[in-house]
Amino acid sequence: MRGFLGHIYALASFLRRQESPVKSGRLRVKPAMTGRIYGSAFLLLVLCVPTFVAAQTYSVSATIDSTKILIGQHARIVVELKTGTDASLQLPFYDEGLNEALEFVKPPQIDTTKNDGSQLVMNITFTITSFRDGKYDFRIGPFIVNAADTLWSNAIELLVLDFPVDLQGDIKDIKPLQQAVYTWRDYIWYIVGIVVLLLAIAACVIILIKRPKHIPLFVKEEVIIPPHEKALTALEELKAKKLCEHDKYKQFYTELTDILRSYFEDAFGIQTFEKTSDEMIFDIVASGKVSQVIVNELQTIVHEADLVKFAKYIPILQTAYQHSGMALHIINETAPKDKKTP
């Protein structure tokens, strides 16, 4: 804006020099031409200045709901900021209050609306208090618009008053403690509660005495988990441990074979623990409850496990994954037909 007005001022100065008397040998501008130039400059100023001013109009105003408060009371300040919708805005930063004496009760509340779609109206509400009496004059800011213009609100005055004290009155001692007077009505609900509690205890004693001795007082329902579900859950937990990824193959195969041994013992009643792998395979085949395909897969897993546990054999990661999949297939194929895991 200042640059634009500077150009207008320079043009007017040039015209004034042209209207002044000139020395011999120089041309002189006619008054009629000068008038037309003045008119053009004035028209340019009238057309451009409102547009420029409208595009750059912004303002800050602040109001306070009470200019006098007692120590510890709250005062509410509302700051209204108006800018263009495309303007960039940087709000002032405060730590715990406006200054050392005026503290925030809660964080500032911001409400933004658009006026006629071309102007942004922002209302910022500050709730403050003070514990120091005195008179405080302050402004809210700075608000930085478009990283160039700095705005402050109008001056606000707040008077913080101390509680009135009668310095001329007599000094009075602290009043002694007074004994409260109670009646039976003050204890009525305690009495009712005690009577109800005694009746409940008496009822429980009578029930315990008269109930049949063979009937337990509390019966806990036992939840029976099918063997195949226990085995599938154990396989999922083993997979989540990621033992093979950490080169703990011995622990992996130990837990994998224990899961299969527990499954065959619970599901088919075949004693599998405290037996060698070959003895376990022999008993499972002798039971005739599983197919030869399942026996072959089980034999592959337990023989690989024996190599890892006793011969310190280190398998490849893909082989361990395949054996885990075999174990899942064994459980699914031997589980009840309507309870297979998809």
d(Cα 136, Cα 236) in Å, to the nearest integer? 70
pLDDT of 27 over the 70 cut:
no
- Domain assignment present for 132: yes
pLDDT(340) > 70 = no
**Model confidence at 289: pLDDT above 90:** no
Sign (positive or negative) of CA dihedral 333, 338, 339, 342: positive
Q: Are residues 98 and 43 in the same domain?
A: no
- For residues 97 and 18, the model is more confident at 97
Q: Could you tell me the residue range of the domain that residue 300 belongs to?
A: 227-339
Same domain, 66 and 45: no
pLDDT band at 273 (very low <50, low <70, confident <90, very high): confident
Q: What CA–CA distance (Å, rounded) separates 152 from 142? A: 5
- Regarding whether 318 and 258 lie in a shared domain, the answer is yes
Task: Tokens for 24, please give them.
Answer: 């011999």
Tell me the sheet residues that pair with 127. 76
In a domain, 171, yes or no: no
Are 99 and 117 in a shared domain? yes
- Cα 221 to Cα 78: distance, rounded to the nearest angstrom: 65
Structure confidence by residue, pLDDT tens digits, 201-256: 999 988 888 877 666 656 666 778 899 999 999 999 999 999 989 889 999 999 99
Residue 251 lies in a domain: yes
Query: Could you give the CA distance from residue 240 to residue 322 in angstroms, rounded to a whole number?
Result: 16
Q: Alpha carbon of 118 to those of 16, 51, 88, 150, 280: distances in Å?
A: 41, 13, 14, 21, 85
> Residue 3 phi/psi, 5° resolution?
-65, -40
Residue 135 counted as domain residue: yes
Q: Based on the fold, state whether residues 9 and 66 are members of the same structural domain.
A: no
Number of domains composing the chain: 3
Nearest in space to 122 (alpha carbons), one of 97, 145, 99 = 145
Chain centroid, CA 85 distance in Å: 29
8 A C-beta contact, residue 307 and residue 313: yes
pLDDT digits (tens, 9 = 90+) for 145-172: 888 889 999 999 999 998 877 777 777 7
CA nearest 141: which of 214, 196, 62, 68?
A: 62
Task: Quote the CA–CA distance of 228 and 259 in Å, as a whole number.
Answer: 10
Where is the domain boundary, 161, 184, 201? Answer: 161
Calculate the average pLDDT of the chain. 79
Say whether both 49 and 68 belong to one domain: no
Same domain, 48 and 67: no
Same domain, 236 and 308: yes
pLDDT for 7 equals: 43
- Reference 61, options 127, 141, 6; nearest CA is 141
Classify the C-alpha dihedral 242-244-249-254 as positive or negative: positive
Residue 28 has what pLDDT? 41
Q: Rounded distance, CA 133 to CA 71, Å? A: 7
Confirm whether 217 is domain-assigned.
no
> Are 260 and 290 in contact, with CB atoms under 8 Å apart?
no
Same domain, 318 and 263: yes
**Domain annotation covers residue 186:** no
Last residue of a domain, one of 134, 161, 188: 161
The pTM is what? 0.38
Whether residues 83 and 23 fall in one domain: no
Lowest mean pLDDT, pick from 91-105, 173-187, 328-342: 328-342
Phi, psi (rounded to 5 degrees) for 262: -65, -40
User: What is the distance between the alpha carbons of residues 110 and 198, in angstroms, rounded to a whole number?
Assistant: 59
Within a domain: residue 146?
Answer: yes
The pLDDT value given to residue 220: 67
Do residues 43 and 18 both lie within one domain? yes
- 51 shares a domain with 82: no
